[in-house]
Chain A
């Protein structure tokens, strides 16, 4: 029987703490910016004809897209994931070129 141990997170995250933290920060910012409604539930200031609430919701999407795009780029800086059956980190040199 398998002991109820926690699945260790990818070993590659531990090797690059700054990159991993940056990814976490970007994802957290993307989530909090829309989840904390009081920061944008207002009519003023109006941007053009758009009340602030509606402008913010529309403008925040490109921000999330950019944040997640940066995060996926940063993930590539972490060592490429190991292939099946290969627990070492050096498994996928071939795909690192893409």
Chain B
């Protein structure tokens, strides 16, 4: 515990305690008559209005990926990291098209997970299992990434026993995570929704202050961009190539404009298919809250653009750049930048914001993964007669298991590895895009054709990502690969293979009269806007309206 700044540490600790108390009290917020139902524990009564949905989805979307991983990529490679900005812009119009339809059909039928929808639409347990498996698989490394973000902050704070044993060194991380696990277990989705308010306030404050204050310390934006341009044009002695790019190039390989667009499009398509984002959206009270939020959420995207620029500030600040280089971990760029630039009390606020900003999405992800497991694996294959109370208990325990699985993930694997696995999570989750999105519009696709396409996409995507190597790593080095002479995001190649297979196989299977499965949804249900939540209705519906 040497080199710990007492002021910074105290502020982080106080804010963490406040958040813990709020997390436990959240169970009483809009308290239902029965908590032991997945609509309550897992979707907080499906009664959130525009305001809370905005905070909840914002809490979902902007995670340690945003605060730690994106600036780290910008710090290390330059302009290609800004694909994340482009992707958050793209995500909203794409979601604007399909998310309201998904909300409506899930509302009418009381579906809790996207797997429930697949099950009802295609009458296929196998397809729903594929969906649940992919969702849980893709969320694990994403939760692990949140932990890596917390770890990065704790490392720079100097918190942690100076021991060679990783488990001893990460005791503070364990404590933070244990608290998170317990209040998620007790309060369900209400906990992250309540904490999201605190998180966003902290983050808005520190980002806005940082964006105006740090450039004055570094000689203005002109100097920051100039330093970045010079830095990324310089030649890396190991590879004999420039360190990075300042503007995506028009060439066919490397950090190209084409790959920039492919990464942005792939990530944007993946975003609103992630189970935890769907969980956040399904908790909304009315259909129009979804569309309205798609126009309100880009306010967060502006923040992401500014946060990505922290990567260039870290390049332009010699002390930060030297610290990061010494530690050999680009993910420390933002924490080191803040520590060097800000007085220690403000560093405390910023660090607390990043830590809480990682805990909120981690909680929602664990809930989403737990719901998938309970509804589409446990209930479907092991206990079809499970009562709502048993389902809820199962989900509570599953959320703990998922979280501790992710914890082991984060501690055992090298950090760069987990960042790449998060990108691999995107490759995986994209493979459910065809079945989920096409299902919202048409029953044309045959269920086994979709399943085959999914399998092919998963296998191709995993193998292709595994085989990417660079100068320092032999596997999982990046999420883009060269196909037909062009660098392109593996997720996009895999989803093309997936869709083409599904299109080709559908007429063949139909001609062979393979059973189609029963569709329990009706066309008008995709545009329905029922006011009443599916049974049991939460206490006080129609009485306590937030507006």
Contacts and interface: CB of A to CB of B under 8 A. Distances in A.
Chains A and B bind each other = yes
A84 B525 contact: yes
A35 B257 CA distance: 10
* Interface range for A: 35 or more
Nearest to B294: A68
A37 B82 CA distance: 12
Interface in B228-259: 229, 246-248, 250, 257-258
Contacts of B523: 7-8
A6 B438 CA distance: 10
Instruction: Give the secondary structure class of B's interface.
Output: helix
Nearest to B312: A54
Contacts of B302: 58, 61-62
Given A49-B221, A50-B221, A60-B89, A69 B295 contact: yes
Contact of B292 (A9, A58, A72): A72
Contact of B298 (A2, A35, A61, A81): A61
B379 to A, nearest CB: 24
Contacts of B220: 49
Interface in B457-472: none
B296 interface: yes
Contacts of A31: 90, 93-94
Contact of B89 (A4, A34, A72): A34
Q: Which of A42, A76, A81, A95 has the most CB of B within 10 A?
A: A81
Contacts of B441: 6-7, 9
B295 A84 contact: no
B212 to A, nearest CB: 14
A43 B247 contact: yes
B510 A84 contact: no
Interface residues of B, number: 65
A56 B529 CA distance: 37
A2 B518 contact: yes
B529 A34 contact: no
B261 to A, nearest CB: 5
Given A58-B302, A61-B301, A81 B287 contact: yes
Interface string A60-73: 11101111110110
Contact of A81 (B246, B306, B527): B527
Contacts of A76: 288
Interface string B128-170: 0000000000000000000000000000000000000000000
B516 A2 contact: yes
Contact of B524 (A66, A69, A80, A82): A82
Contacts of A27: 93, 96-97
A30 to B, nearest CB: 4
A13 to B, nearest CB: 9
A75 interface: yes
Contacts of A1: 515-516, 518
A7 B521 CA distance: 10
Contacts of B519: 2
Interface string B177-192: 0000000000000000
Given A58-B302, A62-B302, A68-B298, A6 B444 contact: yes
Nearest to A35: B261
Given A27-B96, A35-B261, A64-B89, A6 B528 contact: no
Contact of B305 (A5, A10, A61, A82): A61
A68 B265 CA distance: 18
A84 B108 contact: yes
Contacts of B305: 57-58, 61
A84 to B, nearest CB: 5
A54 B287 contact: no
Pick the 10 closest A-B CB pairs, nearest first: A49-B221, A69-B295, A68-B295, A49-B222, A65-B298, A37-B257, A30-B93, A2-B519, A72-B291, A10-B527
22 contacts: A1-B518, A2-B518, A4-B446, A7-B443, A9-B441, A10-B526, A27-B93, A30-B92, A31-B94, A37-B260, A41-B257, A42-B247, A53-B79, A53-B247, A57-B86, A58-B85, A58-B302, A62-B298, A68-B93, A75-B288, A86-B524, A95-B286
Interface of A: 1-2, 4-10, 12, 27, 30-31, 34-38, 41-43, 48-51, 53-54, 57-58, 60-62, 64-69, 71-72, 75-76, 80-84, 86-87, 92, 95
Given A30-B93, A57-B305, A72-B291, 4 more contacts: A7-B440, A43-B246, A64-B301, A87-B524
